[in-house]
Chains A and B, each alone.
Chain A
Amino acid sequence: DGGITQSPKYLFRKEGQNVTLSCEQNLNHDAMYWYRQDPGQGLRLIYYSQIVNDFQKGDIAEGYSVSREKKESFPLTVTSAQKNPTAFYLCASSPSGVREEIDTQYFGPGTRLTVL
Chain B
Amino acid sequence: GEDVEQSLFLSVREGDSSVINCTYTDSSSTYLYWYKQEPGAGLQLLTYIFSNMDMKQDQRLTVLLNKKDKHLSLRIADTQTGDSAIYFCAESIGGNTPLVFGKGTRLSVIA
Contact = CB atoms under 8 A, between A and B. Distances in A.
A87 interface: no
Nearest to B100: A45
Contacts of B90: 105
Given A40-B8, A41-B103, A103-B30, A94 B96 contact: yes
B44 A103 contact: no
Nearest to B99: A105
B98 interface: yes
Interface residues of B, number: 26
A50 interface: yes
Nearest to A9: B40
B33 A104 contact: yes
Interface in B76-98: 88, 90, 92, 94-98
Given A43-B101, A48-B98, A104-B33, A110 B42 contact: yes
A103 B8 contact: no
Interface of B: 8, 30-31, 33, 35, 40-45, 48, 50, 88, 90, 92, 94-99, 101-104
